[in-house]
C-alpha cells in the first residue's frame, strides 16, 4: 500500500510553528527542566519529531530485503519518555538514551526451522554442522536471532532518517529479557537491536575509519594488486 504523503505539508507547518515558538524562548528557558530527564529544548525536539516523518523511517525498514523474503522482524516504536528512560537503564545505564525523543526496537521473530535457517548455517560451517543441528531450539533462536536480517532493516531506517536530518545511534548492549518484559512483548519476539533517534545537539564528530586499502581485497586475497592504491584510483576516476 502506498504511503499517504500528505503528512509532508503538515510536517512543514508544524515545524514552522515550533521554530517560531523556539525563537521566542531564551537560552535559559530552553534549559528549563521538564520532568526528570528532559529540558524544554528536548521537549520541543520531541514535538517536532513526532510527526509522520517517522512513518517514512518505518516504511524503509518494512521494505527491506530479507533472505527468502521472510521479513522476520517486528518494529517497536517507543515514544514515551518514561519507557525510554527505563530502556537507558536496561542498556547498561547508557544515560544519553533517556533524552531521545524516539527509540525503535528491532525485534526478530523466530523463523520456523522448516524454512531452512539451520541448513544454511550447517552448509556455511560444516565443521559445526552436528552441533548446530542438535542445538536446543530456544538457544538456537537466542543466539541466531535472525539478527543479520534486522540489521538490514535498521540500516535502511537509519539512512531514511538521515535523509531527513534525523540522527541515530545503534545500541546492541542491553538485557534482552528485561527489555522484552518492559515492552510486554508477546512470546517469540526477541529484541535484537535498539535504534535511538533524535536531532543531533552537535554536528557529528568525525571518527577514524580504516582506509580502503585496509578493508578491500580483490579476487584471490594473495594475488598482487595491479593498481597503485585506492586513493590514486579514486583521484583518477574523478
Ligand X SMILES: Cc1cc2nc3c(=O)[nH]c(=O)nc-3n(C[C@H](O)[C@H](O)[C@H](O)COP(=O)(O)O)c2cc1C
Site of interaction with ligand X (CB under 6 A): 94, 169-173, 207
Asked if 84 and 181 touch (Cβ cutoff 8 Å), the reply is no
Measured from the CB atom, the residue of 32 and 148 that comes closer to ligand X is 148
Residue from 205, 110, 207, 201 nearest 150 by CA: 110
Asked if 156 and 64 touch (Cβ cutoff 8 Å), the reply is yes
Q: How far apart are CA 22 and CA 12, in angstroms?
A: 15
Q: How far is the CB of 84 from ligand X (least distance, A)?
A: 15
Report which residue's Cβ sits closest to ligand X: 170
Measured from the CB atom, the residue of 128 and 170 that comes closer to ligand X is 170
Measured from the CB atom, the residue of 111 and 171 that comes closer to ligand X is 171
Measured from the CB atom, the residue of 170 and 217 that comes closer to ligand X is 170
Q: How far is the CB of 187 from ligand X (least distance, A)?
A: 25
Convert 3-69 into a string of H (helix), E (strand) and C (coil): CCCCHHHHHHHHHHHHHHHHHHCCHHHHCCEECCCEEHHHHHHHHHHCCCHHHHHHHHHHCCCCHHH
Q: How far apart are CA 29 and CA 25, in angstroms?
A: 6
Q: How far is the CB of 171 from ligand X (least distance, A)?
A: 4
Q: Which residues contact 192 (CB under 8 A, 6 or more apart)?
A: 106, 107, 108, 145, 146, 147, 150, 176
Q: How far is the CB of 154 from ligand X (least distance, A)?
A: 8
Measured from the CB atom, the residue of 41 and 88 that comes closer to ligand X is 88
Q: How far is the CB of 19 from ligand X (least distance, A)?
A: 27
Amino acid at each position: 500500500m502506498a504511503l499517504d504523503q500528505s503528512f509532508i505539508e503538515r510536517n512543514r507547518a508544524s515545524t514552522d510553528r515550533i521554530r517560531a515558538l523556539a525563537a521566542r524562548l531564551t537560552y535559559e528557558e530552553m534549559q528549563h527542566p521538564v520532568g526528570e530527564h528532559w529540558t524544554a529544548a528536548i521537549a520541543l525536539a520531541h514535538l517536532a519529531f513526532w510527526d509522520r516523518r517517522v512513518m517514512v523511517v518505518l516504511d524503509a525498514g518494512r521494505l527491506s530485503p530479507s533472505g527468502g523474503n521472510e521479513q522476520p522482524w517486528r518494529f517497536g516504536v517507543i515514544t514515551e519518555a518514561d519507557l525510554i528512560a527505563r530502556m537507558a537503564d536496561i542498556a547498561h545505564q547508557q544515560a544519553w538514551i533517556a533524552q531521545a525523543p524516539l527509540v525503535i526496537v528491532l525485534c526478530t521473530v523466530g523463523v520456523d526451522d522448516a524454512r531452512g535457517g539451520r541448513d544454511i548455517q550447517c552448509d556455511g560451517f560444516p565443521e559445526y554442522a552436528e552441533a548446530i543441528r542438535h542445538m536446543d531450539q530456544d538457544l538456537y533462536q537466542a543466539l541466531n536471532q535472525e539478527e543479520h536480517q534486522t540489521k538490514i532493516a535498521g540500516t535502511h531506517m537509519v539512512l531514511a532518517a538521515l535523509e531527513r536530518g534525523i540522527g541515530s545511534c545503534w545500541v546492541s548492549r542491553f538485557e534482552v529479557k528485561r527489555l522484552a518484559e518492559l515492552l510486554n512483548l508477546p512470546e517469540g519476539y526477541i529484541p535484537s537491536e535498539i535504534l535511538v533517534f533524535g536531532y543531533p545537539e552537535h554536528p557529528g564528530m568525525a571518527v577514524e575509519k580504516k582506509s580502503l586499502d585496509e578493508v578491500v581485497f580483490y579476487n584471490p586475497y594473495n594475488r598482487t594488486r595491479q593498481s597503485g592504491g585506492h586513493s590514486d584510483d579514486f583521484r583518477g576516476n574523478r
